[in-house]
Structure 1
Amino acid sequence: MRPFCHRIASRYEVGHLNWTQDLNLGARAVVSTAHRPFDGRCCRPSCDWEIFPSLAQLPRTQQKPPNPLRSMHAVVLRSLRPKVAVTAATRALSSSTSPASALKVLIIDGYSPDGRADLEAGGASTAGKLYIDLLAKSAPTGWLHGSSGIPQYGSCWAAQIAVAAAGGYCGGNPRGREMGLARKIALSPEGRAHPMFEGKPSVFDAFTSHNDEITHLPPGGLSLCGNDFTSVQAVAVRHKKGDFWAVQYHPEYDLHELARLTYCRRAKLVGLGFFADMKSADQYVDDLENLHIDPSRYDIAWRLGLDADVMDENIRHCETRNFLKYLALPYKAVVEDSK
């Protein structure tokens, strides 16, 4: 039986984006994210992370002068992967927009066709679309899969893929579903020292929706944070030549997306006891939407117990930005220098 990490339900083509950030170094990238279509009873797979073909061509912006940050990127990569040969990066990128030099991004989404249809019918965005938007705000690179040492990142199902592919285990959470807000996630000592959480509070809330959890870390895996509901809320997995940083929660969500997701699953959530009835579920959805439209509504934020850790995207997106800064861009600099 093929391991579940091969079971990718769909792929999303990314359109042309105009990257203008100062750190516009370009990259070949893949995002793996979102919910997984398996039932949690996973076995220990013997697979390695695969390289997926790129689907979209993203043109680079005009040529940049030599970037002094590239030598810093090389130093960071040396500290993370001491055995990797690294040379300082000083060469400017070509401004060519030919297919051979274009930035290529692949978004991998784990929804089943029926699950995607339900979300779209309720006005919710798929996680693939949300990550396209998040990448556009962060930097011109993303997540790649492969056994060649390419750095990887993802959320929710991706954390479980990373752990299972490297030899760990996942299973159903005996506490059931964690939904809406994962409360009081606390960084572990390893998490406080890890670059993925640079700039993140030591204790924070995060948007979430999942039934399954990581139960056993693989060799080379670190648990970076957790809470009373889910003991492993983020991992750093080193497997063969690759590094995979992943979170169980959903930094790509915002209040609007949580509202639409809740709306799509109201009946299920009422049945699970999250709401007394459909009316109270609808009120919760309305509160989230109204707060999204007007973040100054302190009355709603107070009633729902929401703070800057979920409402401020500068805090919410820390993990993604740090992945780009400390793994993706250093790797890109090394690849460019090796050519």
Structure 2
Amino acid sequence: MTHAMLRLLIADGNDRDGRAKREAAVGQTTSQAFAAVVSDLAPEAVCTLVNPADAGAGIDLAGFDGMVLTGSTLRLAEDGPAVRRQLDLMRAALEAGLPVFGSCWGMQVAAAIAGGEVGENPRGPEYGFARRLAAVGDGAAHPLLAGRGLAWDAPAIHLDAVIGAPSGARVLAANAVLDVQAIEIRYGRGLFWGTQYHPETDLDELAAMLRLSAEAVVSAGFAADHAAVEASAREVEGLAGDDCPGRRQRAWRLGVGADVLEAGQRRREIGNFLASLSTARGVEWRERDRVAR
């Protein structure tokens, strides 16, 4: 699809320490990685990156077609200034009428400001992949999930989750581990679409995130020790390129298919969000042209 030129504000959910750890492990911050995905999907989009966790970030929402709030190592239960600043940003963006997309932390922040419940998932965390995701309610017909099949897997790294959806929200997808894997929230004049899983995360990044989460993965009982986490991370890393030797065998061992392996399918929800923004932008331009005449 051809996208009208979009102006996107991409807000990094990490604080300064989290950004430094992420950059050391992956070579770029979470917002930089997200902007690279947007550029792949919509090369004409203009992305402005901000760090709302930092004091004095001075974020001006004027002039943007939409906003993204990325994942984060922060937890809402910590309730420090870095958390509260992001709650304030999400509230301001939606009250201003901006369309917003968020994954993982971004979805949790949106749910929290709208009155939902966020906390440690009683059914446990997901590290690596969220398995057998499926549309629920009217999710199968929702534009966020356009192109998704009856079930799919996706990259996921989380302990906390939305464990109680805000009143009036539309829960769009779930799996056996979590009842709220994708959601639509209307708040103020704005509209939020989000996922608990990470459609933006490339597989080499996922491997690095597993390494960063090694202690938590072991504590959750998913791996016996850090060496086992490293072995799993290497398997995921070996899926990252079409020409990686043994990719087909690794995919078979990990039980993943095209929804994980092919970037266009893995990033489906982001592409759908950008398409919705582009449609809205095109309508705005046509209306301006009509008025000018």
TM-score by length of 2: 0.76
Q: 1:22 to 1:219 in 2, by over 3 A?
A: same
The structure 1 residue matched to 2:66, chosen from 137, 143, 155, is: 143
Give the structure 1 partner of residue 120 of structure 2.
172
Q: Structure 1 unaligned runs (5+)?
A: 1-20, 31-106
Q: Give a deviation string over 1:184-228, Cα, whole Å, max 9, x none.
A: 111113110101111111211110111111122223310000011
SS, match of residue 240 in structure 2? helix
Larger Rg: 1
- For residues 54-79 of structure 1, the C-alpha deviation after alignment (integer angstroms, 9 at most, x for no partner) is xxxxxxxxxxxxxxxxxxxxxxxxxx
Match of 2:258 among 308, 313, 318: 308
Q: Structure 2: how far apart are the matches of 1:284 and 1:121? A: 20
Give the stretch that moved more between structures: 109-118 or 157-166: 109-118
TM-score, structure 1 as length reference: 0.66
Q: CA deviation at 1:269?
A: 2.0
Residue equivalent to 1:22: 2
1:129: which partner in 2? 32
Distance 2:219 2:134 in 1: 30
Matching residue of 1:252: 200
1:231 aligned residue? 179
Q: Distance in 1 between matches of 2:16 and 2:181?
A: 27
- C-alpha distance in 2 between matches for 1:279 and 1:147: 47
In the alignment, which of 220, 240, 244 is matched to residue 272 of structure 1?
A: 220
CA–CA distance in 2 between the matches of 1:231 and 1:285?
27
The one-letter amino acid paired with 1:332 is R
Aligned match of 1:320: 270
In 2, Cα distance between equivalents of 1:228 and 1:199: 21
Q: What SS does the corresponding residue of 1:189 show, helix, strand or coil?
A: coil
CA distance in 2: counterparts of 1:251 and 1:205, whole angstroms: 10
State the Cα distance separating 1:291 from its structure 2 match.
2.4
User: Which residue of the partner structure matches residue 13 of structure 2?
Assistant: 110
Corresponding residue for residue 164 of structure 2:
216
Q: Tell me which moved more, 191-200 or 273-282.
A: 273-282
CA shift for structure 1 position 124: 5.7
Which 4+ stretches in 1 moved above 4 angstroms? none
1:12 counterpart residue number: none
Share of identical aligned residues, percent?
36
Task: Give 1:53's aligned residue.
Answer: none
* SS of residue paired to 1:292: coil
List runs of 5+ in structure 2 lacking aligned partners.
47-64, 68-92
The letter for the 2-side match of 1:187 is: A
> What is the match of residue 81 of structure 2?
none
Name the structure 1 match of 2:85. Answer: none
User: Deviations for 1:221-250, whole angstroms, at most 9, x for unmatched residues?
Assistant: 100000111110000111232111111110
Give the 3 Å change call, closer, same or farther, for CA 333–117 of structure 1 in structure 2. same
- Tell me the CA shift for residue 255 of structure 1: 1.3
Whether the 8 Å contact between 2:13 and 2:105 is mirrored in structure 1 is yes
Q: Which position in structure 1 is the counterpart of 2:281?
A: 332
Counterpart amino acid of 1:29?
L
Partner residue in 2 for 1:72 = none
Which position in structure 2 is the counterpart of 1:96? none
2:188 aligns to what? 240
2:19/2:30 contact within 8 Å kept: no
Amino acid at match of 1:268: A
Give 1:146 deviation, angstroms. 4.0
Aligned to 1:75: none
Query: Are residue 119 (structure 1) and residue 22 (structure 2) matched?
Result: yes
TM-aligned CA deviation for residue 129 of structure 1: 1.6
